[in-house]
C-alpha cells in the first residue's frame, strides 16, 4: 500500500504544480508598504498562489519527507543510497519547500531575494515524475532503451531543430514581405516579436 500511496502523492504533487501555473489559481494581491523614513506609500501588485494548493503541496512534501527518511534509515548501504540519482532528485525536490517555509517569516530584503530564488527553484518538483520509474517496470525498460539509443536521439533532435529553424525563418520572412520595414508596428500582424 505504501507504493500506491507514494504513487498517489506523486500524481497529486505534479497536478498541483500544473494548477499553480494557471491564472485562476494565482489571484493578484496588492502589497502596500509604507516607508518609515519619508512616510511614503508604495503599491506593489503581485500574484499569490491560492492557499489550499500550498497546503496540498505541504501534505505531499510531508509524505515525501517521511518516505525519504524511512528509505535512508532502513537502507543497508548509505553511500550507494546517497549516490543514487533518484534519491538526489527526491532530496532536491523536498528541500526548497522547507527553506521557503523557514524564510517566509523573515522580512529583510535579502530573505525576499532568497525566497524569489527558491520560487524559481521549485520547478525541480516536476522531476518527481521520474519517481514513477520505481513503481513501473515498463518505465525502467523505456529508460534503459533511451539510454542505449542516445546517439540516434541526438541525431533526431539535430534534424528536428534544423527543420524548425529553417521553416520558422521562412515563415517569419514570408509574413514580413508586405510590411513596411521602416514602420515600428510592422511586426504587429505577425506572431513573432523582434
Average pLDDT, 10 consecutive residues per value, the chain (194 residues): 82 86 80 75 75 90 93 91 87 84 68 69 71 73 86 92 89 68 54 48
What is the structure's pLDDT at 191?
Answer: 52
What pLDDT was estimated at residue 188?
Answer: 56
User: How high is the pLDDT of residue 34?
Assistant: 74
The pLDDT of residue 190 is 52
Q: What is the pLDDT of residue 170?
A: 84
Asked if 97 and 57 count as a contact pair (C-beta separation under 8 A), the reply is yes
Q: Are 29 and 45 in contact (CB under 8 A)?
A: yes
Strand-pair partners of 33: 42
Contacts made by residues 93-102, CB under 8 angstroms, sequence distance 24+? 93/64, 93/124, 93/125, 93/127, 93/128, 94/61, 94/64, 94/65, 94/68, 96/121, 96/122, 96/124, 96/125, 97/57, 97/58, 97/61, 97/122, 98/61
Amino acid at each position: 500500500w505504501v507504493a500506491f500511496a507514494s504513487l498517489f502523492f506523486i500524481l497529486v504533487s505534479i497536478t498541483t504544480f500544473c494548477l499553480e501555473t494557471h491564472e485562476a489559481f494565482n489571484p493578484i494581491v496588492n502589497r502596500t508598504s509604507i516607508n518609515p523614513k519619508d512616510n511614503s506609500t508604495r503599491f506593489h501588485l503581485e500574484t499569490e498562489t491560492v492557499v489550499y494548493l500550498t497546503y496540498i503541496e505541504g501534505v505531499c512534501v510531508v509524505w515525501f519527507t517521511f518516505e525519504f527518511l524511512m528509505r535512508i534509515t532502513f537502507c543497508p548501504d548509505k553511500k550507494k543510497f546517497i549516490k543514487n540519482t533518484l534519491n538526489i532528485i527526491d532530496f532536491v525536490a523536498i528541500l526548497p519547500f522547507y527553506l521557503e517555509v523557514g524564510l517566509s517569516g523573515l522580512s529583510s530584503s535579502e530573505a525576499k531575494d532568497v525566497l524569489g530564488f527558491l520560487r524559481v527553484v521549485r520547478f525541480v518538483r516536476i522531476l518527481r515524475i521520474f519517481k514513477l520509474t520505481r513503481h513501473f517496470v515498463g518505465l525502467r525498460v523505456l529508460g534503459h532503451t533511451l539510454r542505449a539509443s542516445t546517439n540516434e536521439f541526438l541525431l533526431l533532435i539535430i534534424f528536428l531543430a534544423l527543420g524548425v529553424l529553417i521553416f520558422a525563418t521562412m515563415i517569419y520572412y514570408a509574413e514580413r514581405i508586405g510590411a513596411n520595414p521602416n514602420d515600428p508596428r510592422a511586426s504587429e500582424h505577425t506572431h513573432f516579436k523582434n
